């Protein structure tokens, strides 16, 4: 067999080029692999240095450890609530404060402590609730573990409201061991019940232990708003009021009558009444307007927006502030009668008796009647914003968080402030730390959580507020 020298040379060159190409591919692949590894290492190092994501030893502060311990107590039932109350009392005792455990009803313990001030009256009440709602299913972390993952502490009560309780406890204890009395009495109160109506908490104490509230003119609890966008707080809302509820049971002889009554009332689940803007709500809209983009001009002058027929342009969450609404259950059979629960969510100043009379007249059109009034609240006027405490809350938030600050009227949730405002106590609700939308949506739902660094900021903010109130500068 004769081999063509030219063909042999071509094959040799081809094989050499293929080997060179293969070598280049290997080199490029190796370089890419090394680059990816270096990039990942760099990213890992950057993340490891960033305490927003990975908790460092320095972020696991004593305050965080306290919150972990408190969340570790299941306070959904009386036995756990009693355990939580004893734990709070022990924490106060460890800091030199003697607390009283007050049993409202068997198994329901409340925690009360008071630091006497230099002057009578004008006392500030720091109050919180021990109980939490049941956790439900679907948690990614055990709900009573206080587990930390990616710089967030998970657990029922992380936001509502064991974190706020720790802020209050530490601020109270710092004043107690400061060596000098505050200007006025400072009171710490942790109640056995709030989530189920407060009948074993604030309401019981107001009736049976009025001495707990002696001299109290100011109150501080949960309920505010701390909006966060792109890691920065954009608005700090101090809660000064909220809508009130009336809950009744409608009855009818037939399910048809009750279904027809429900159909009639369904129109009021959304917005059928004329808008009514309370002064506190008008001020709130004006204050948050600069932080809004698409709704700024509508909120800045809400009266003009309504007069121009442009109210519908606002999202429903804003419309809730200026109208009363309803919540309805489906008809159900109850002791041989057909029943339906109706919750009327009324503006703060609404007369509950007038609202009940309106509902009675509407239901009667379909042969239904009010069987029982299950709960009745209101009217509850908003708290004043001209107090020294509100000024301190506002000024400290502006300094500490560099943020827009103003009053807030809650439109869908309730706090124990409603029981104190009717007794001439100027009561304010706070979310003292930044909370993003994902964390806010975890309240009363699965995976409730709080960011460690933000929790630490809240501890610092509340301490500054309480110190500024307790030891005002000489005038």
Taken in order of first residue, the domains within the chain and their CATH numbers are 57-223+415-470 (3.40.630.10), 244-376 (3.30.70)
Q: What is the pLDDT of residue 142?
A: 96
Global pTM value: 0.83
Q: Is the pLDDT of residue 407 over 60?
A: yes
Q: What is the pLDDT of residue 31?
A: 64
Tell me the average pLDDT of the chain: 89
Q: Is the pLDDT of residue 171 over 80?
A: yes
Q: Which residue has better confidence, 389 or 377? A: 389
Q: Is the pLDDT of residue 47 over 50?
A: no
Q: Is the pLDDT of residue 159 over 70?
A: yes
Q: Is the pLDDT of residue 335 over 70?
A: yes
- As a whole number, mean pLDDT of residues 391-411 equals 91
Q: Is the pLDDT of residue 8 over 70?
A: no
Q: Which residue has better confidence, 228 or 154? A: 154
Q: What is the pLDDT of residue 3?
A: 53
Q: What is the 3-state secondary structure (H, E, C) of the chain?
A: CCCCHHHHHHHHHHHHHHHHHHHHHHHHHHHHHHHHHHHHHHHHHHHHHCCCCCCCHHHCCHHHHHHHHHHCCCCCCHHHHHHHHHHHHHHHHHCCCCCEEEECCCCCEEEEEEECCCCCCCEEEEEEECCCCCCCCCCCCCCCCCCEECCEEECCCCCCCHHHHHHHHHHHHHHHCCCCCCCCCEEEEEECCCCCCCCCCHHHHHHHCHHHHCCEEEEEEECCEEEEECCEEEEEEEEEEECEEEEEEEEECCHHHHHHHHHHHHCCCCCCCCCCCCHHHHHHHHHHHHHCCCCHHHHHCHHHHHHCCCHHHCCHHHHHHHCCEEEECCCEEECCEEEEEEEEEECCCCCHHHHHHHHHHHHHCCCCEEEEEEEECCCCCCCCCCCHHHHHHHHHHHHHHCCEEEEEEECCCCCCHHHHHCCCCEEEEECCCCCCHHHHCCCCCCCCEEEHHHHHHHHHHHHHHHHHHHCCCCC
Of 53-62, 109-118, 262-271, 466-475, the least confident: 53-62
Of 61-65, 79-83, 327-331, 460-464, the least confident: 327-331
- As a whole number, mean pLDDT of residues 190-200 equals 94
Model confidence at 33, pLDDT cuts 50, 70, 90, reads low
- As a whole number, mean pLDDT of residues 170-191 equals 96
Q: What is the pLDDT of residue 336?
A: 76
Dump pLDDT digits (tens) for 81-95: 999 999 999 999 999
Q: Is the pLDDT of residue 172 over 90?
A: yes
Model confidence at 43, pLDDT cuts 50, 70, 90, reads low
- As a whole number, mean pLDDT of residues 278-295 equals 88
Q: What is the pLDDT of residue 39?
A: 53
């Amino acid at each position: 067999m004769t081999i063509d020298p030219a063909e042999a040379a071509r094959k040799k060159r081809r094989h050499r080029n293929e080997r060179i190409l293969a070598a280049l591919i290997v080199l490029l692949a190796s370089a890419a692999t090394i680059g990816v590894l270096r990039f990942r290492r760099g990213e890992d190092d950057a993340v490891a240095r960033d305490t927003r994501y990975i908790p460092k030893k320095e972020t696991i502060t004593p305050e965080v450890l306290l919150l972990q311990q408190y969340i570790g107590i299941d306070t959904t039932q009386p036995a756990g609530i009693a355990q939580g109350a004893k734990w709070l009392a022990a924490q106060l005792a460890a800091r030199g404060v003697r607390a009283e455990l007050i049993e409202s009803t068997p198994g329901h313990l409340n925690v009360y402590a008071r630091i006497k001030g230099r002057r009578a009256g004008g006392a500030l009440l720091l109050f919180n609730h021990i109980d939490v709602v049941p956790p439900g299913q679907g948690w990614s972390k055990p709900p009573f573990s206080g587990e930390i993952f990616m710089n967030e502490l998970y657990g029922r009560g992380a936001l509502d409201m064991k974190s706020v309780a720790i802020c209050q406890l530490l601020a109270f204890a710092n004043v107690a061991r400061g060596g000098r009395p505050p200007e006025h009495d400072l009171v710490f109160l942790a109640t056995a019940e709030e989530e189920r109506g407060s009948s074993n908490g604030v309401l019981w104490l107001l009736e049976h232990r009025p001495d707990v509230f002696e001299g109290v003119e100011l109150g501080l609890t949960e309920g505010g708003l701390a909006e966060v966008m792109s890691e920065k707080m954009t608005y700090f809302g101090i809660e000064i009021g909220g809508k009130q509820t009336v809950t009744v049971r409608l009855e009818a002889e037939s399910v048809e009558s009750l279904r027809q009554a429900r159909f009639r009332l369904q129109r009021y689940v959304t917005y059928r009444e004329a808008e009514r803007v309370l002064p506190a709500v008008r001020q709130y809209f004006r204050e948050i307007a600069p932080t809004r983009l698409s709704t700024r001009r509508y909120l800045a002058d809400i009266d003009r927006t309504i007069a121009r027929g442009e109210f519908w342009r606002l999202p429903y969450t804003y419309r809730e502030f200026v109208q009363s609404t309803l919540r309805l259950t489906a008809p159900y059979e109850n002791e041989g009668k057909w029943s339906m629960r109706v919750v009327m969510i009324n503006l703060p100043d609404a007369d509950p008796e007038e609202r009940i009379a309106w509902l009675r007249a509407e239901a009667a059109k379909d042969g239904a009647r009010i069987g029982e009034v299950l709960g009745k609240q209101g009217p509850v006027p908003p708290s004043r914003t001209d107090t020294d405490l509100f000024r301190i809350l506002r000024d400290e938030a502006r300094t500490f968080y560099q943020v827009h600050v103003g009053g807030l009227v809650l439109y869908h949730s309730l706090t124990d402030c409603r029981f104190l405002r009717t007794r001439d106590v100027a009561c304010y609700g706070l979310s003292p730390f930044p909370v993003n939308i994902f964390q806010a949506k975890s309240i009363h739902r699965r995976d409730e959580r709080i960011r460690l660094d933000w929790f630490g900021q809240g501890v610092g903010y509340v301490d500054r507020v309480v110190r500024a109130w307790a030891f005002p500068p000489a005038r």
